[in-house]
Amino acid sequence: MYSAKSIAATGLKNQQLRLDTIAHNVANVNTVGFKTKRLDFKDALYVTGLTPPNPRSPAENQQKGHGVMVAHVVRNFRPGALVNTGHPFDLSIEGEGFFSLLNPNGDIVYTRNGNKSLSVEEDGSYFVNSEGFYFLDINGERIAMPPEASTFAVDIDGTIRFLSGQDEVGRSFLGVFTFQNLHGLAALGDANYMHDEAAGDRLPATGAVIRQGFLEGSNVDLGEEMTRIIRTQRAYQLASRALTTADEMEGVANNMKR
């Protein structure tokens, strides 16, 4: 009976984790550049049962499972809908790719959130995001706005043209990259990611199209998430009933001694 109760308990615990993951997705339905997550499971350890007349081997005895465990968390990198903000500092990416940023620790992070502003500092004016991370160019340098520039325009290939009136006074090129395995990126929160060995090599996002005045919305599908909630609740109820049944059977066995 103890084995049955422990197996049911793994179901309860892991379905709760799935529900937490879904809740996290729903809470970020309006987060710019957010990518939805999905929790996948696998069978826990299997051991060979023992039937005395037969030799102890998988061929002669049933395999006994020990419940369920989390296999991995899969992040869905499908693009979100583009939202027209009309703000020149807002950028979005059509296709595969990430903006490269420099955080205060000196690490390069990647994001699909192109919401930026201008940070005026002693040594110049730089493009930064809401967290103060610097946007980087194709060479990994911070993108600075020339002092004589009054505005800028971003072309679809990521070229930033700094303008003074109708005259171009400088250029820069957005650092937009992709990776061999997007699912290998390490999530840092706030729709930011860091390059990990599992992601493979960093590559130029040659097919990316940059849209100025747009932001990429979350790719959370509320209909899909509600369906997952219902399925998770049903699985949780099933595991709960299994636990209750195992407990009742153990109670019956204990009462037989009286």
Residues 138-159: tens digit of each pLDDT: 999 999 999 999 999 999 999 9
In the prediction, which pLDDT does 66 show?
A: 74
Instruction: Report the b/e string of 12-21 with b at 16+ CB within 10 A.
Output: bebbeebbeb
In the prediction, which pLDDT does 190 show?
A: 87
Identify the segments of the chain with pLDDT beneath 70. 1-2, 45-65, 257-258
In the prediction, which pLDDT does 72 show?
A: 78
In the prediction, which pLDDT does 51 show?
A: 57
- C-alpha 210/C-alpha 95 separation (Å) is 9
In the prediction, which pLDDT does 60 show?
A: 58
In the prediction, which pLDDT does 154 show?
A: 96
Q: Using alpha carbons only, how large is the chain's radius of gyration in Å? A: 26
In the prediction, which pLDDT does 239 show?
A: 87
Could you read off the pLDDT of 30-74 as tens digits, one per residue? 999 999 999 887 777 666 555 555 655 556 556 666 778 787 788
- Measured in whole angstroms, how far is the alpha carbon of residue 176 from the centre of its chain? 18
In the prediction, which pLDDT does 50 show?
A: 57
For the chain, what are the domain ranges? 2-78+220-255, 82-216
Contact 22, 235 (CB under 8 A): no
- Measured in whole angstroms, how far is the alpha carbon of residue 65 from the centre of its chain? 31
The residue assigned the tokens 């970020």 is 28
In the prediction, which pLDDT does 47 show?
A: 61
Instruction: Report the b/e string of 53-87 with b at 16+ CB within 10 A.
Output: eeeeeeeeeeeeeebbeeeeeeeebebbeeeeeee
